[in-house]
Structure 1
Amino acid sequence: MTNPKSVIIIGAGMAGLSAGCYAQMNGFDSQIFEMGDKAGGVCTSWKRGDYTINGSMHWLVGSAPNVKMHQMWLELGAIQDKMLVNHDLFFVLKNPGGKDFHFYTNIDRLESYLNHIAPEDKDEITDFIKAVRTFIEYDLPTEKAQELFGLFDGLKLIFTEFPMLMEAIKWSRISITDFVKRLKNPLLKTAFLAFWHPEMVMTTIIVTLAWLHKRTAGYPMGGSGAFIQSVVERYQQLGGYIDYHSKVEKIITYDDNAVGIQLANGKQYFADYIISAADGYTTIFKMLGGNYIDDTIKQVYTSFKPFPSIFYIALGIDEAFDELESTVVGYNLPLLKPLKIGNTVHERATVQIYNFDPTLAPKGKTLMTCFLATDYDSWEELYHQREQYEAAKDKVLSDFIENLLLHFPHITDKIEMKDCSTPMTYKNYTGNFRGSYEGWLPTPEASKIHIKKTLPKLHRFYMIGHWVETGGGLPPAAMSGRNVIQLICNQENKKFKSYISSVEAVML
């Protein structure tokens, strides 16, 4: 009997954990090296007093069994013990002096509402809603890695999902800014720019609404930390091992084969395959010294835009907020005093009020969070001047709370926990290029280029995660981990295996 082939995985984020789980399911001996003190990467939570701060998760595509992706989450042990919440509202746009705008998750209700408030935009609304309905009817294949598609697979996809493919092609060429330019109603314009980055493709909104309408993009109670811990436990139950506080500085190659890694402490480890779920720039240009690149890689890392760096605010409030409807992403508020963060000025901000997740705060109290885009360079410069850096953080937090109290004056004396993170927090904690929190931004330009999981002339090496899957989010990260083990199984002439454990999730 031969010894199992070994796999080293760099990074214990969602992509790395997924690759580890499927490696173990398929008889490989895997080991994950994580530079931090816990798994998850951006998909994480942390404690501040009696509050648990949800680091990233708003919705989970595949939370219900009516899409194929659900099977993957069961295989990863991610949702078996989770209560899943589906919201009727995606977000609410607060409109001083007028009626608030409600972005509903039910597409029929949304269509009626949009036509009621913006009859002058009926044609654009009809076109947009038609695209969402098209995506509702279809489910992209997730069982097989695209790299293994043959002619028959391609033809089957074209014939069975042709309408969806045509809509995807059409809307992937249109940015949110392009679409907003077509609209006449000012409130509708503001709403479409309220949450998404204006350079993102419209497909992002369309597919998200399709999933929300089907009630297959619910929120797992407990948020990011509880979710990722379930996957960690699944990996460990399968026999995998995570080395924490183990920063990889170099990927060791021999005759253009990846054969091992070297840690910051000088220790070396060797395996049959090396998979990097770490930051793409660090992997290619530092761990591998820029020795395995081509024109496409150069183009990606010089012209693609990453998701913006963010300033993240979390507040613990001695208030239940029972009177507010729950939402997927929150309440978009006008800032009566513009908020400057680094070199970015905000006139609106979206606050998520977790009145639907009692696990994040003591009884009768609520966690409130806010993501705010900012530039990276100004925070990097400040970081080396610690007093100014801390003062800048405190100023943003103070100015934000001042704005918040104009909308919620009754909580003036009820804010009992304050926390914030800057782009440098994300850079230090995850290693992400320029402090980005989700990899490459899905712009019309980025959607034209397929980023490979391999590097030119380097064998037995793969990259997974957000730097090879444009668009961000947990599903692409997890799928890239699943798919790469399919590729390795194919290389080893093994049949890919996957299986689930335990019971189904509970839907609310």
Structure 2
Amino acid sequence: MGGPKRIAIIGAGVAGLSAGIYAQLHGFRTTIYEKNGVAGGACMSWLQGNLPMEGSMRYLWGVRDGTPLYDCWNEVGALRETMFVNPDSFFTAEDSGETVALCQDLDTFLRHTEKISPEDAPLLERFCGLVRKAQAYELPVDKPADLRSPLEALRANTASGEVAKVLAKLYTVSLADFAQQFHHPALRCAFNQVLPAGSTLGQLALCYAAFTAGDVAVPIGGSHKMIQRMVDCYLENDGELQLQAPVQEILTANGAARGVRLQNGERLLTHWVVSACDPAYTCRVLLQDRYSMEKKLQLRFSEPEAFPTFSLVRLFFSAPADSLPLARVFSFATDLVISAAGEGCSRLIVTQLSDDPLFVQKGCAELIVDIPMPGKRSFRYWEKLSVSPRAYDEEVHRLAADAERALEKRFPDMKGKLQFLTCHTPMTYARRLNAFHGSCAAFLETAKARPAQLTGRLPGLSHLLLTGQWLGRSAGLHTALVQGKYTVQRICHEERILWD
């Protein structure tokens, strides 16, 4: 294997594409192997007819010019010549006759919520103070902590300073516990619903701070356009992308990864292997249980109370654009309790995409209804259903019909005009992504979690690195982007290649 050192990358999601682009820029020769017919991974998107369908992206973090994360997105070509949608609110919830909107303008949010509940004013002012402090935080993207010298680590800690200390404390506070301190039920509802169950006050403060600072928005065209730009950037830098090329095994010899064997039997020898897919699937299937993850990552899989997975049923509809709620993400109560995986759901969270002109066609736009579900139990439920395609389809259409009735009751202008398009269940994510318990994202770090720096290395096996959002403190496309970069920095460090 003369010439540039070769890297096999498994998975063409954001992390795999990020790793491929950075590796190509630093002199490696890479091939990305993707099991599906399109790139994107968890960043799901597709065309239904001529209408682009958004399967994952509510918002994108890192869109403010001049920030380190924005520079990373541009280095991989994701935001080149891109316009953005800037919603007026991060999240809007309707409850007890009131509507609470987490507005982009923090002062507007404070005035509006204090008017709803004057007795909650002190707690609201405290929350807004925390968000303002969090606005000064910048996500570290320069290099992973394990590659920093003592002086670089000191500088990084000094730069984050007081903000990092405040956020560290907020990460130990359950968002549900914080929400319970509000007197007004609409405020309790909004703070309980804005992020997945189990989230922390620190996660909300950081997300809302980024939104109010203009660092969170939606690129026009959503996932489909963004992934295509990353693929173009990868190919322009002489990378090789193979679609519908599932990897069956990671080849090892003498304690080192030596390449991959594809499902069609083809064997490819490489200097490095990067697995940008589920770590459990990598170890259990691709490495055939011969090697295990680093212990800190194993703990995430074995401590579901501290690191739960997040699953859902996601229903896709086409709806008249003028009948949709004004808010991009909107939560409302329904008197129709929707049974899903043995649990009842009395609220629906809808995401509407009429604010992006590319998602509007003939006066209709995409509407997404999310029904959250517990990780392992809901996966087993849908896994059992999937044995019988008829039973699986019947359950999907029952949920779609229940959601349609709830939508039509809340938004009468939709009556008779909704068109059910498709549905994602935990089995969708298991089949497409080989995701642990059918998770649609990585782990959720709760207040019980002990934060740890993860490296993606496997004890006893060299020349293989895991990458992706499973290694970050939070899920998200920005985490996948940064982890892909970190992985190549670790390879460059091992190969004594200067990172510029």
TM, length-normalised to structure 2:
0.94
Q: What is the DSSP-based 3-state SS (H/G/I as helix, E as strand, rest coil) of the residue aligned with 1:370?
A: strand
**Cα distance in 2, alignment partners of residues 223 and 197 from structure 1:** 22
**Cα distance in 2, alignment partners of residues 413 and 379 from structure 1:** 29
1:169-188 superposed Cα distances (whole Å, 9 cap, x missing partner): 10111121221233322211
**Cα distance in 2, alignment partners of residues 50 and 416 from structure 1:** 16
Q: Quote the residue 2:335 is aligned against.
A: 336
Q: Quote the residue 1:102 is aligned against.
A: 101
Which of 383, 392, 396 is matched with 2:395 structurally?
A: 392
Q: Quote the residue 2:32 is aligned against.
A: 32
Which of 289, 307, 310 is matched with 1:308 structurally?
A: 310
What's the offset of the Cα at 1:338?
Answer: 0.8
What's the offset of the Cα at 1:129?
Answer: 1.8
Question: Is the 8 Å Cα contact of residues 93 and 102 (structure 1) preserved in structure 2?
Answer: yes
**Cα distance in 2, alignment partners of residues 127 and 115 from structure 1:** 12
Which of 451, 466, 470 is matched with 1:467 structurally?
A: 470
Question: Is the 8 Å Cα contact of residues 326 and 356 (structure 1) preserved in structure 2?
Answer: no
Q: What does 1:68-467 align with in structure 2 at a 5 Å threshold?
A: 68-95=68-95, 98-293=97-292, 295-304=295-304, 305-321=307-323, 324-327=325-328, 330-374=329-373, 375-467=378-470
Unaligned runs of 5+ in 1: 498-508
Q: What is the DSSP-based 3-state SS (H/G/I as helix, E as strand, rest coil) of the residue aligned with 1:182?
A: coil
What's the offset of the Cα at 1:425?
Answer: 1.2
Question: Is the 8 Å Cα contact of residues 467 and 483 (structure 2) preserved in structure 1?
Answer: yes
1:114-134 superposed Cα distances (whole Å, 9 cap, x missing partner): 333233233432332222111
What's the offset of the Cα at 1:201?
Answer: 1.8
1:12-34 superposed Cα distances (whole Å, 9 cap, x missing partner): 00000000000110010000011
1:454-492 superposed Cα distances (whole Å, 9 cap, x missing partner): 111211111000221231111110101111111111111
Q: Which amino acid aligns with 1:389?
A: Y
Identify the range of structure 1 (405-414 vs 152-161) with the bigger mean alpha-carbon deviation: 152-161
**Cα distance in 1, alignment partners of residues 366 and 246 from structure 2:** 32
Q: What is the DSSP-based 3-state SS (H/G/I as helix, E as strand, rest coil) of the residue aligned with 1:460?
A: strand
What's the offset of the Cα at 1:447?
Answer: 4.5
Identify the range of structure 1 (293-302 vs 179-188) with the bigger mean alpha-carbon deviation: 293-302
**Cα distance in 2, alignment partners of residues 106 and 480 from structure 1:** 31
1:80-130 superposed Cα distances (whole Å, 9 cap, x missing partner): 12211112211221236x232222122222223333323323343233222
1:376-410 superposed Cα distances (whole Å, 9 cap, x missing partner): 11111000011111111110000110111001122
Q: How many residues align?
A: 493
Q: What is the DSSP-based 3-state SS (H/G/I as helix, E as strand, rest coil) of the residue aligned with 2:216?
A: coil
Question: Is the 8 Å Cα contact of residues 257 and 463 (structure 2) preserved in structure 1?
Answer: yes
**Cα RMSD (Å):** 1.8
TM, length-normalised to structure 1:
0.93
Q: What is the DSSP-based 3-state SS (H/G/I as helix, E as strand, rest coil) of the residue aligned with 2:39?
A: coil
Unaligned runs of 5+ in 2: none
Question: Is the 8 Å Cα contact of residues 172 and 447 (structure 1) preserved in structure 2?
Answer: no
What's the offset of the Cα at 1:319?
Answer: 3.9
What's the offset of the Cα at 1:2?
Answer: 6.2
**Cα distance in 1, alignment partners of residues 55 and 207 from structure 2:** 20
**Cα distance in 2, alignment partners of residues 299 and 72 from structure 1:** 30
Q: Which amino acid aligns with 1:51?
A: L
Question: Is the 8 Å Cα contact of residues 320 and 366 (structure 1) preserved in structure 2?
Answer: no
